[in-house]
């Protein structure tokens, strides 16, 4: 846990690979995403976050700022874990902003069906 | 090594916490805990937008509790289980009702969410007994 908490890439731009279905239909299992480590967090954007508890790095959507940090949600209500279960994610644990999908189907990462 | 990070893809999870294709009442329990958390946050908030959101997520997750219970009821449990535990049908009926419009879907009372969690716990106890016996 402590080693992954110290995770900090050298270059600000990197790629991540998505595992699981909690962000469908926006992101699918196996999608490669270009991300900006340390990019500015904004409501509505997809981000790489560290969820509270002993959970792996996750990809979630930032919904709004909460006194405890960022409230994150999954796009697919049938799968996964989000702030309604684990609470807000501290600002320091919002690690990267998703920029766009590299592969397959390169392009912009769109907004969810149930947008506000 | 750190230099390579820029080129190697880091895995980021979008998983449920449970392995897919496996039966486990924990799935219903997690959603029911989420329902309870939504109710608590709804009751603690003065922000109309947040309250609206809490309500809609609570309803969504209540439906998921029902879904997961139905999967256990119709797919996992088999006739011999219902013979051995004759109360099972009633338990599922009461539990799914507690997640429905007459339960957590319609209510903002934490006590209702606790009743739902207690009912899921009863089902879970039987579930694990049948697993141990199998």
Closest chain A residue to the Cα of B64, Cα to Cα? A78
Q: Measured at the alpha carbon of residue A22, what is the angle toward residues B59 and B15, in degrees to the nearest 5?
A: 120
Question: Residues near B81 by Cβ (< 8 Å), separated by ≥ 6?
Answer: B88, B126, B130
Cβ neighbours of A22 in B, within 8 Å? 14-16
Q: Which helix (H) or strand (E) holds A33?
A: strand A32-37
pLDDT digits (tens, 9 = 90+) for A16-67: 999 988 899 899 999 999 999 999 999 999 999 998 887 889 999 999 998 8
A–B interface: beta-carbon pairs under 8 A: 98
Question: Is the pTM for the entire model greater than 0.80?
Answer: no
In tens digits, what is the pLDDT along chain B, a chain of 134 residues? 444 455 677 888 887 655 555 789 999 999 999 999 999 999 999 999 999 999 999 999 999 999 999 989 988 898 999 999 999 999 999 999 999 999 999 999 999 999 999 999 999 999 999 988 87
For the question of an ipTM over 0.95, the answer is no
Inspect the interface and report whether the beta carbons of B14 and A9 lie closer than 8 Å.
no
Give yes or no for A74 touching B (CB within 8 A): yes
Q: Which two tokens stand for residue B86?
A: 């004759």
Cβ neighbours of A18 in B, within 8 Å? 12, 14
Inspect the interface and report whether the beta carbons of A17 and B11 lie closer than 8 Å.
yes
């Amino acid at each position: 846990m402590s080693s992954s908490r110290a995770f900090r890439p050298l270059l600000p731009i990197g790629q991540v690979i998505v595992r699981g279905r909690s962000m469908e239909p926006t992101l699918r299992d196996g999608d490669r995403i270009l991300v900006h480590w340390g990019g500015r967090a904004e409501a509505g954007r997809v981000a790489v976050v560290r969820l509270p508890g002993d959970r792996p790095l996750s990809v979630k959507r930032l919904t709004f700022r909460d006194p405890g940090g960022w409230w994150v949600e999954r796009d697919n209500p049938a799968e996964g874990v989000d702030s309604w279960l684990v609470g807000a994610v501290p600002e320091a644990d919002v690690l990267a902003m998703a920029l766009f999908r590299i592969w397959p189907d390169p392009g912009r990462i769109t907004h969810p069906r149930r947008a506000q | 090594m750190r230099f390579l990070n820029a080129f190697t893809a880091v895995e980021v999870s979008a998983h449920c916490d449970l392995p897919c294709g496996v039966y486990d009442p924990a799935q219903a329990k997690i959603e029911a805990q989420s329902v309870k958390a939504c109710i608590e946050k709804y009751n603690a908030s003065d922000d109309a937008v947040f309250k609206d959101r809490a309500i809609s997520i609570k309803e969504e997750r209540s439906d998921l509790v029902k879904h997961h219970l139905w999967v256990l009821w119709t797919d996992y449990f088999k006739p011999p289980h219902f013979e051995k535990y004759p109360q099972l049908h009633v338990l599922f009926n009461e539990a799914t009702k507690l997640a429905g419009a007459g339960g957590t879907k319609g209510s903002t009372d934490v006590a209702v969410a606790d009743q739902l969690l207690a009912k899921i716990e009863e089902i879970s106890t039987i579930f694990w007994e049948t697993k141990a016996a199998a």
